[in-house]
Structure 1
Amino acid sequence: MMLQGRVVLVSGGTSGVGASAARAAAREGASVVVTGRRREQGEKVAAEFGGRYVPCDVADVAQVRAAVDAVVAEFGRVDGLVNAAGLTSRGTLLNTTPELFDAHMAVNLRGPFFLMQAVVADMVRRGEPGAIVNVISEARRGGAPVLAPYVAAKAGLAGLTRNAAYAHRGDRIRINGLDIGWTDTDGEDAIQREFHGAGDDWREQASKKLPLGRLADPDEIADMIVFLLSARSGVVTGSVLDWDQAVVGAHD
């Protein structure tokens, strides 16, 4: 019960890594609030563990602030935040429109920024410690050509993670990030089919190309998120950890 008595807010908790993180946090004793745009799916996930769903499109700063206010009004505080909401639609340097670029910035960078702002403000106001985990991506170091706006936003989130962690060490607020790799989620399935023409066997074909023979599992990532939210991770802050089977910088 590593999160016993904690109140944890999970953005993008309606599916994928966010939903897995919400379930894992609840199993470890936290009161979990799930946010996302899809009400039906969000309520379904929250109902699995007796949690709470609050509608929130992280691209809308007003909704972000309202979601945090709702959690504080109901529970009195926020002890932990997981920024798992993400947009992965494709675009290269040459074909990305201003609208697509802005959408990636809004979801993958601006949303996490203002969620952290609101949550940290609550922690500082109460004078209590807290923990934040940002779900980033190993692609933020360069990524594939079709991920240009995504990489730009996630690279920004990695820098923001370290900046905010440094700024609030004295407030006992730990902020860390995970650079996750290729993960088996419903969202990734939709992306592979829409943008890459993948068939029903895309997971099997992808797995053959990966060193460990399979995609990452959201539940495994969720376990690491819970660890970083908990006191078990000690004094670790400002770390952006590789969570992938690729070894950055290594080559034959």
Structure 2
Amino acid sequence: MDIGDPLDFTGRAVVVTGGTRGIGAAIAEAFLTAGADVLVCGRSAPATLPGSGGRPCAFRATDVRDPEAAAALVDAAVARFGRLDVLVNNAGGSPAVDAATASPRFVEKVVALNLLAPFYVAQAANRVMQTQDEGGSVINIGSVAARTPQPGTAAYTAAKAGLLGLTRALALEWAPLVRVNHITTGLIHTESAAEVYGEDGGKAVAGIVPMRRMAVPDDVAHACLYLASTLSAYVSGADLAVHGGGEVPARHLVADPARNPFSSS
């Protein structure tokens, strides 16, 4: 039986939070290229919206930490496209802050952005998707920090661990019409993060990744296409690792750096 191209999203509607730059922009452009109509959001409009083939994304200024604003974002997508098939909860992040001195306000803002906001937008999306014969797909963009904390990331780590748990809980409650999945991202080379990885732009850091390179935003975008497509029709509550195999354990590098098989030297 001919089921057509499972990666053809023509006629499908997609919302990508934090979709104006970096990973979010790559995700938005990937869905546009696949034929979807895409709405992205951010705190403020960028100078240039993500686009593909002469088609730009639609944009709505939204603070997704506000439940009413999150619901309005979904309503705007439905008003514009007539439906909502895919939600990618990409908005997130946090600067490094020592847990001993992190203020309550800082902790609350980090948890709100990385855990509560995805919950709020997903709730609004689910209300729409449950009314559609084809249902829908929610994809939460997480981080290896949920499993492997780094110094300065206590609040972020806790929020991302919560996002993984939330994904599994929502997948349980919203099936069979709405599938909910999680992507664990590893080290990703973006313009904004390049300086974090050192003066060499991350070349040395890439040496601890089994794939011998850091991820690029398109690696995450392609995983989103898979999870939103019929190729993953029976996949829900899953955690898809997009981290190049993880990282070489520090104890291995310390014990014998010369024997590191993934060294870039």
- TM-score w.r.t. the length of structure 2 is 0.85
Specify the alignment match of 2:223 in structure 1: 224
Matching residue of 2:135: 129
Supply the distance in 2 between the matched residues of 1:186 and 1:65 (Cα, whole angstroms): 31
Bigger Rg, structure 1 or 2: 2
Local SS of the residue matching 2:60: strand
Alignment of 1:240 onto 2:246: no
Residues 30, 225 of structure 2: 8 Å contact kept: yes
Residue identity opposite 1:131 in structure 2: S
Residue correspondence of structure 1 range 76-87 to structure 2 within 5 A: 76-87=82-93
2:191 to 186, 192, 195: 186
Aligned partners of 1:14 and 1:38 also within 8 Å: no
State the 1:248 CA deviation: 8.1
Could you tell me how far apart the structure 1 residues matched to 2:185 and 2:96 are? Answer: 18
Note closer, same or farther for the CA distance 1:210–1:248 as it changes in structure 2 (3 Å cut): closer
Q: CA deviation at 1:245?
A: 2.4
Q: What is the aligned partner in structure 2 of residue 177 from structure 1?
A: 182
From 33, 39, 44, the equivalent of 2:45 is 39
**1:55-85: CA deviations, max 9, x gaps?**
1122222221111111111112111000111
Stretches of structure 2 lacking an aligned partner (at least 5 in a row)? 1-6, 253-265
Gaps of 5+ in 1: none
- Provide the aligned C-alpha RMSD in A: 2.2
- TM-score (norm: length of structure 1): 0.89
- Between Structure 1 and Structure 2, how many residues are aligned? 244
* SS of equivalent residue, structure 1 residue 40: coil
**Taking CA–CA contacts closer than 8 Å with sequence separation of 6 or more, which of the two structures ends up with the larger relative contact order?**
1
Report how far residue 142 of structure 1 moved.
3.2
Q: Give the deviation of 1:249 after TM superposition.
A: 11
- State how 1:82-101 maps to structure 2 within 5 Å: 82-101=88-107
Q: What is the aligned partner in structure 1 of residue 161 from structure 2? A: 155
Larger deviation, residues 205-214 vs 105-114:
205-214
Secondary structure at 1:108 match in 2: helix
Shift in alpha-carbon separation, 1:113–1:76, aligned structure 2, 3 A: same
Amino-acid identity (%): 34
Tell me the equivalent position of 1:49.
55
CA contact (8 A) 1:33 1:46 kept: no
Following TM superposition, by how much is the alpha carbon of 1:141 offset from its aligned partner in structure 2, in angstroms? 1.1
Please give the alpha-carbon distance, in whole angstroms, between the structure 2 residues aligned to 1:113 and 1:61: 9
> What is the CA–CA distance in structure 2 between the aligned matches of 1:38 and 1:72, rounded to whole Å?
21
